[in-house]
Amino acid sequence: MALASLILAACASPHGAAGLPPGTPQQEVLARMGPPTRIVPLPDGGKRLQYSLQPAGQYAWMVDLDASGRLVGTRQALTEADFHRIVPDQWTRADVEREFGPPAKVDGVASWNGPVMTYRWRDVMNANMFYYVYLDPQGVVRRAHPGMEFRDRFFDRF
């Protein structure tokens, strides 16, 4: 019984998106992957199903459907290459959340007049990372950059 539950859970996970061919209908995508974290409209009339593991996880899968509800493509969005697509002074908070899903947290810092969105992710060396997106008070991205996330308590001993 436990094995059957594990297999069913794996089938409904975002990892199941990899085996879905383009053109798969939305109902089949949802049956395989389960309910998304969020559904976001896309500029072309389609929609994006977001499967985010934020705030504790380090992955977010974007599953794009066309206007007729058929699968166009899937990707794991929390990558260095995808973060480099952010264009300061052009992107807004809505653009960032459409492309990456909800952040792990939104904070303020004394040296910045606006919110700072933080995403958790892993780099190509499998290191735990943060990606910080600084917004002005109007919600426009002004800067963005990666930073290390020290999860290993080893560093706390020194």
The pLDDT tens digits along the chain (158 residues) read: 443 333 334 444 455 666 889 999 999 999 999 999 999 999 999 999 999 999 999 999 999 999 999 999 999 999 999 999 999 999 999 999 999 999 999 999 999 999 999 999 999 999 999 999 999 999 999 999 999 998 665 554 44
Domain spans in the chain, listed from the N-terminal domain onward: 16-76, 89-157
Helix (H, G, I), strand (E, B) or coil at 136: coil
Ramachandran assignment for 74, one of left (phi > 0), alpha (psi -120 to 50 degrees), beta (any other): beta
Strand positions, DSSP E, the chain: 38-41, 47-52, 60-65, 71-76, 105-107, 116-122, 128-135, 141-148
Nearest to 98 by CA among 37, 30, 147: 37
> For 34-51, how does the pLDDT look when each residue is reduced to its tens digit (9 = 90+)?
999 999 999 999 999 999
CA distance 20 to 34: 13
Class of domain 89-157 as given by CATH: alpha beta
> For 81-104, how does the pLDDT look when each residue is reduced to its tens digit (9 = 90+)?
999 999 999 999 999 999 999 999
Quickly tell me which residue has 């089938």 as its tokens: 11
CATH ID of 16-76, from 3.30.1450.10, 3.40.640.10, 3.10.20.740, 3.30.360.10: 3.30.1450.10
